[in-house]
Amino acid sequence: MDRKELDDYARLLVAVGVNLQPGQRLLVDAQVEHAPLVRSLVKAGYAAGAPYVDVLYADEYVKRELIEGGPDEAVGYSPPWLVERMRAIGEAKGAHLGVLSSPEPGLFAGLDEARIGRSRMIEVSNVRRDLIAAGGISWTFGGFPTAGWATEIFGEPDVERLWRLIADSARLDEDDPVEAWWAQSKRLHERAAHMTDRGFDALHFSGPGTDLTVGLLTGSSWHGGGLRTAWGQEYVANIPTEEIFTSPDWRRTEGHVRSTRPLSLMGALVRDLELRFEDGRIVEVNASAGADVVRTELETDEQAPYLGEVALVDGESRVGKSGTTFFHTLYDENAACHIAYGTGFAFLASEENAAKVNHSKVHTDLMIGAPEVDVDGITAEGERVPILRDEVWQLG
Amino acid sequence: MDRKELDDYARLLVAVGVNLQPGQRLLVDAQVEHAPLVRSLVKAGYAAGAPYVDVLYADEYVKRELIEGGPDEAVGYSPPWLVERMRAIGEAKGAHLGVLSSPEPGLFAGLDEARIGRSRMIEVSNVRRDLIAAGGISWTFGGFPTAGWATEIFGEPDVERLWRLIADSARLDEDDPVEAWWAQSKRLHERAAHMTDRGFDALHFSGPGTDLTVGLLTGSSWHGGGLRTAWGQEYVANIPTEEIFTSPDWRRTEGHVRSTRPLSLMGALVRDLELRFEDGRIVEVNASAGADVVRTELETDEQAPYLGEVALVDGESRVGKSGTTFFHTLYDENAACHIAYGTGFAFLASEENAAKVNHSKVHTDLMIGAPEVDVDGITAEGERVPILRDEVWQLG
């Protein structure tokens, strides 16, 4: 991970991830451990013509002290000036670039779980969520290797090894990574449009431990690849992105499914998770580790045990090919086909389908794809159409 | 520098430096490299009853990218939300704790000097300055060892060696450092009160290369040790503090002076600086290195070449005893007697003296004390009274 590689990565995130335009302000949210990349992002931002690059460093260990020793009302508190900062980037039609990593394993061990759960700055998050829903900013996330994250994956702080995986997922080895990502975005656009056109009534997943039918909403869209702001600026939210996804009919999931990768949830590791659905609802949860964490999350609200998302990823995914579980959704959800219980994406639904898109406070992605899992589309007439075989895309 | 030492240091800065009261908000401004101390400060803040500890990490390397590649209007720009943050801590009658270190040598090398000079967030600084002038916050600064700073001092990144000096300057080896600092504050209060009572007409410094008379303002005060907020909360601005100081009559400095320690100025090192004064004004600048940096700064405005401060430090100073030049004012100005050209402290002047306190955009401290430099007070009647001999305090 030398300066040149970081500069290349930063340029990619700025040029494609938010597709920064001359005169567009750039907000960077990162952790103190991400400083080497942040400095390259600032450089890339000014080179692309940002009038100002505004960096905010968070610190998970400061958050830990807050959860451990702060008064109740401080946990989850959003300082008004941070809310204002997020509002202002919307007013400026700016860009928001977040750097992510998985925290050190056990960082929050021993702390009150309710306080951990409340420790996000909800008001800042809500302003950002509303800006995104309104197409008011271009935004993306990219990963950065930290010692803690590398330890979670490899059992040792091999930051360089994690960096190689991140760089590979970001296609930094391509002659022109920027061009490669616009091409990838186009490919996913076309694949999503094709799925939308096909208008399947349901998807069927079958493989070891899995026999799952997910009812779809005709008239709803699939999405993949780049997004557009309200004023038409195209950008690729999240580097890497390998998935196409939609929100299914929350009432029509049936059968059982076995997770194909471990799931990191609330600081716990859930292994060999198996879910059984009846009338759309998760009615049984089993796992060799962490089943209770899932069960507790499913109790968050009435709609939590219903699906909000189903996503398809083929074997060309760089993340999937790495064979690595990153313990971070930014990567893991791009490794393989997945479903998410909890809230769905209203923006993908037609007006008459709006009530059939799930709505909940949670959204947890769960990998269910693998070479040995077949995926079929089922038409309204009951015809089965192969979509994925041995993780190879079968449709046009 | 283990966790316990950092926790002790953080507790000292919180308990004495800002003397945080239960219910008082705490603002921490630091650099990303200071994270280990910042985490201890957050812990100490909540333990002392802070309703919220608000941390802002700055990054000198981000600043470097801004100076190098940002548009002109971005250099020195204060994001409105940072101005608001500083205002809010005043409205909350809060506390402000800054962590300081000297940047890596040569960090800003090769950059446009005018842009370097404009790169401070002036609007944020001004809000803070006004809050301090009005007694609207309790505030302090403490140092933290970074690899860059250690390299500047020792020529190698011996962070642990610098930490030992910082810990020693902070009296962390005392049985009760908190009590030691309140005692130190009381001692400096008494010494300053004694100097104010004596009402000397001038100070005279004499030693190798030095024969300097600094005209004082009768009716002006000396200050040293802790300060008080408008509501009477006592605190010790800056750990360490070893000096008592006043603003002299800017029109009445005469003679010549030789600096006893190197001076770090705008990233350059000024060695063997010698100044000659006529009618209060610096009329000659010589140095074995960096003279032009001083000459340039003296051209900042009309009043820059006049004194704004004279300060007395005796040989008991932990900083002075270390024999180290820290290349940071927080430490170096507590090592030995010093003068500062540029702006003075209006709050120390009686009303009729207000116009005789210097006013400028610059304020640069210059060490002139040493065992071989005698300091005398000169009374209105022309009597000479020894104040320091061999750096030992001679007055009651």
Interface test with B, best of A62, A63, A67, A123 (most B CBs within 10 A): A62
Sign of dihedral through CA atoms B192, B197, B198, B204?
Answer: positive
- Is the pLDDT confidence value at B264 over 90? no
Q: Length of chain B, please?
A: 396
Q: Is the pLDDT of residue B349 over 90?
A: no
Smallest CA–CA distance, residue B165 to chain A, in Å, is 26
- Report the residue from B35, B64, B65 with minimal CB separation from A32: B35
Q: Which residue has the tokens 């030398």?
A: A2
Closest CA to B212 of B200, B220, B204, B222: B204
Q: What are phi and psi of A300, to 5 degrees?
A: -55, -50
* Rounded-to-integer distance, Cα A25 and Cα B39, Å: 30
**Domain assignments of chain A as residue spans, ordered by start:** 3-177, 187-222+241-393
Distances (CA, A) of B149 to B1, B145, B264: 16, 7, 12
- pLDDT of amino acid A280: 97
Put simply, the answer to whether A65 touches B43 (Cβ < 8 Å) is: yes
Angle, to 10 degrees, between the axis of helix A60-69 and the axis of helix B35-47?
A: 10
For the stretch B48-92, pLDDT in tens is 999 999 999 999 999 999 999 999 999 999 999 999 999 999 999
Q: What's the token pair of residue B190?
A: 């008494």
CB-CB under 8 Å, B65 with A43: yes
Name chain B contacts of A88, Cβ cutoff 8 Å: 79-81
Residues 6+ apart with CB under 8 A from B82: A81, B56, B121, B124
Residue B141's DSSP bridge partners are B98
B84–A42 C-beta distance less than 8 A: no
Cα–Cα dist A69/B283, whole Å: 57
Query: Quick one: B322 exposed, middle or buried, by C-beta within 10 A (0-12, 13-18, 19+)?
Result: middle
Chain B residue with the nearest C-alpha to that of A65:
B43
Helix%, strand%, coil% for chain A, nearest 5:
35, 25, 40
Q: Is the pLDDT higher at B27 or at A296?
A: B27
B25 near B50, Cβ under 8 Å?
A: yes
Using only the alpha carbons of chain B, give its radius of gyration.
20
Per-residue pLDDT of chain A in tens (396 residues, 90 and over written 9) = 899 999 999 999 999 999 999 999 999 999 999 999 999 999 999 999 999 999 999 999 999 999 999 999 999 999 999 999 999 999 999 999 999 998 888 888 899 878 887 888 989 999 998 999 899 999 999 999 999 999 999 999 999 999 999 999 999 999 999 999 999 999 999 999 999 999 999 999 999 999 999 999 987 899 999 999 999 999 999 999 999 999 999 999 999 999 999 888 876 788 999 999 999 999 999 999 889 989 999 998 999 999 999 999 999 999 999 989 898 889 999 999 999 999 998 877 778 888 889 999 889 999 999 999 999 999 999 999 999 999 999 997
Q: Residue B225 pLDDT more than 90?
A: yes
Q: Is A269 exposed, middle or buried (0-12, 13-18, 19+ CB in 10 A)?
A: middle
Contact A35 B35 (CB under 8 A): no
Q: What mean pLDDT, rounded, does chain B reach?
A: 94
What architecture is domain A3-177?
3-Layer(aba) Sandwich (3.40)
CA distances from B388 to B333, B367, B368, B379 (A): 17, 15, 13, 16
Q: Determine, for residues A66 and B46 on separate chains, whether the beta-carbon distance falls below 8 Å.
A: yes
Residues of A in contact with B84 (CB under 8 A): 80-81, 84
3-state secondary structure of B133: helix
Query: CB–CB of B46 and A35 under 8 A?
Result: no
The answer to whether the Cβ–Cβ distance between B46 and A70 falls below 8 Å is: yes
Chain B interface, best mutation among A43, A64, A82, A107, by max B CB count within 10 A:
A43
Instruction: Report CB contact under 8 Å: A35, B32.
Output: yes
pLDDT at B307 over 90: yes
ipTM of model: 0.90
- Report d(CA A87, CA B84) in Å as an integer: 14
